[in-house]
Chain A
Amino acid sequence: MNQRVEIKRLPSGVPGLDAVLGGGLPEFSFNLIAGSPGAGKTTLAHQIMFANASAERPALFITILGEPPIKMLRYQQQYSFFDTAKVSESVRFLHLGADALDRGLEQILAGIVAEVEATRPALVFVDSFRSVARRSSDEIELQSFVQRLSLQLTSWEATTFLIGEYEEPEAAGNPLFTIADGILWLSQQTSRNSIVRKLQVSKMRGQGQVPGLHTMKMSDDGIRIYPRLPNPPEHTAVAVDHRERRKTGIAGLDQMLAGGIPSGYSVMVLGPSGSGKTVLTTQFIREGIERGEPGVIAVFEKRPDEYLTTAPDHPQLTQLVSSGMLKVLYIRPLDLSVDETMEAISAAVREVGAKRVAIDSLSGFELALAPSFRDDFRESLYRMIGGLVGLDVTVMMTCELVESYTELRFSPHGISFLTDGIILQRYVEIAGVLRKLLLVAKMRGIDHSKELRLYDIGPHGIEVGEGLAEYEGLLSGTPRRIGHPIEGES
């Protein structure tokens, strides 16, 4: 007989946080929301409170020193989650004030307990608990106080949140951190001119929280958490033969690919500026739509309207957006995070039921990232590609490559190994004319063409031409006809 107690989990009301917590906030738990000033602790507490407070589950918000309540209420009302109708009905505020502190920890405990006994809240918040803790210089006294507070509130079946200004080094040896069932750390990381907010669930008894630092954003709707992308799951071994082929919309390229790109593959299109990377990805997306496969294009350099009007056949693209077969995302907020990008693309994929995704471009994406995320660009991209492919979409990404004729590079970030395929575009001079070359450098499990083929960009996009079998040294930028020595050479 299984007699294990089942812990009910309360929804936090903070998008993305429940996933990080491992399912929600454990009922009757005793939690600490810690972080530096301005990290968003009070806002997080209010958002949780207003999401959960009801007539059956009333909430009590106790303020002690810290931010003056008149200002706290003024500012918190600016968030959409603040529901004035709940105040005094299911949400009660109580300001204990400085004089409560003067009377000592025993009196503070008595004051809180008296209020809890009188109002029987299911949710209790104490802001700022740091000011209470500072009242005692005796660690044993503080430990006893925290323990009794925890027991009292738990005995009243209250889920409790203490809010306090703490820095991470203070956690060691602090009895509060030992007694708390859950600890939510909020922090702000500064890198150059950018500040990125992070949330970490460093402890959540009884459930498996997602470890690591998760991106946190604040807007008029309050806090939103972008859970850190996990490492991609073990690659499901689907034989290439069993994968559908996604036609690119470029007959010559499909021929080089022996029928198209296998579904679920990630492909990087590399090339110098103006080589037609965007044109190729747009054709890939359009071809999919014509075959009934909706698509998503995530742009990082141009705005969607600008993107649509500069793409070949742009009127048709605009029409496809209107029809709901195509979603063009412009993801360029300040200090972007990879997790946020993934969230936006995933939402768009779900919205239109996309089978194809284009990211244009990785170079712009890297620039849009907050500096602190750029440091982990390769790792982040690895997780993002894994996440996207996990959505059962075929992904095409463009990447700007500075032309170099002394080496054959496949990406400026050393990221080419992350993808299943690489299509390379290059410039070459032939008979005094600058021409464009295309090469399928890699396509896992496919017996693709190894030819270097000329291509042109016409009114309908890329048209792949003939191979250049009679030339050698094409990748050096100065090819010569085989059997035709350069003048002066013997």
Chain B
Amino acid sequence: MKPELAEIARRVLGREAGESASPERVAIGAANACEQLTQHFSRLIGRTGMRLLFDRSVLLARHEYPWLPRGANGLDDDACSALADALAQHDPGTATAAFVAVWATVVELLGRFIGDALVARLLTELWPEISHHAPSSGRTEDEP
């Protein structure tokens, strides 16, 4: 996970959940951030493509947060709700870290496929005040 993307994910969640976040507020903010991201990018790459990337990101994040819910064959319409429900069961710090792991990985995967510049543009449309820093391009050397 790229640190700059993790930072953007934290700021997006902060905006959606509010600064004094309770577990419930983190869950609601995560659901909002997840929904907006998937809907916005679904217009571009289709719902199926977006859901598959999301599901893969959850699977990768499960190495660290095994309690994250697996998507139902990657085509689950309620994947964001399921994520939010799972986050609500944990303290805000852990929930935030798990959300950041999933969200930043989705964005990173999107960047690998359609380019960081395009992803940055689309993120800026959603969160203009937050994602004005384009994710750095390409795969980092220490990544598999």
Contact = CB atoms under 8 A, between A and B. Distances in A.
Interface of A: 63, 68-71, 73-74, 77, 84-85, 87-88, 92-95, 97-99
B125 A84 contact: no
Given A68-B49, A77-B114, A84-B121, 14 more contacts: A69-B44, A70-B46, A73-B44, A73-B45, A73-B114, A73-B115, A77-B118, A87-B122, A93-B44, A94-B43, A95-B42, A95-B45, A95-B47, A98-B48
A97 B43 contact: no
B114 A63 contact: no
Contacts of B117: 84
A74 B121 contact: no
B46 A74 contact: no
A440 B117 CA distance: 65
Given A70-B113, A74-B113, A84 B118 contact: yes
A95 B114 CA distance: 15
A437 B117 CA distance: 68
Nearest to B46: A95
Interface residues of B, number: 16
Contacts of A99: 47
Given A70-B113, A74-B113, A88-B125, A63 B46 contact: yes
Contacts of B114: 70, 73-74, 77
Q: Is the interface of B mostly helix, strand, loop or mixed?
A: helix
A73 B118 contact: yes
10 contacts: A69-B44, A69-B45, A70-B46, A73-B118, A84-B118, A87-B122, A88-B121, A94-B44, A95-B43, A95-B46
Q: Which of A70, A84, A87, A99 is packed against the most chain B CB atoms within 10 Å?
A: A70
Nearest to B53: A70
A92 B122 CA distance: 11
Contacts of A98: 48
A77 B115 CA distance: 8
B114 to A, nearest CB: 4
B142 to A, nearest CB: 24
Contacts of B45: 68-70, 73, 95
A93 B113 contact: no
Interface in B40-71: 42-49
Contacts of B113: 70-71, 73-74
A99 B48 CA distance: 10
Nearest to B125: A88
Nearest to B44: A93
Interface string B98-135: 00000000000000011101100110010000000000
A97 B52 CA distance: 14
Q: Which of B47, B115, B122 is packed against the most chain A CB atoms within 10 Å?
A: B115
Contacts of B49: 68-70, 95
A87 B116 CA distance: 13
A59 B34 CA distance: 28
Contact of A68 (B43, B46, B122): B46
A97 B46 contact: yes
Nearest to A93: B44
Contacts of B121: 84-85, 87-88
Nearest to B116: A84
A95 B44 contact: yes
Contacts of A84: 115, 117-118, 121
Q: Which of B117, B118, B125 is packed against the most chain A CB atoms within 10 Å?
A: B118
A355 B71 CA distance: 72
Contacts of A63: 46
Q: Across chains A and B, which 8 residue pairs bring their CB atoms closest together, nearest first?
A: A95-B46, A70-B45, A84-B117, A73-B114, A70-B49, A93-B44, A69-B45, A97-B46
Nearest to A86: B121
Contacts of B115: 73-74, 77, 84
Contact of B43 (A70, A71, A85, A93): A93
Contacts of B118: 73, 77, 84, 87
A77 B47 CA distance: 21
A92 B118 CA distance: 12
A94 B46 CA distance: 8
Contacts of B46: 63, 68-70, 95, 97
A58 B119 CA distance: 20
Nearest to B48: A97
Contacts of A85: 121
Q: Which of B47, B48, B114, B122 is packed against the most chain A CB atoms within 10 Å?
A: B114
Nearest to B117: A84
Q: Which of A74, A92, A95 is packed against the most chain B CB atoms within 10 Å?
A: A95
A94 B115 CA distance: 18
Contacts of A73: 44-45, 113-115, 118
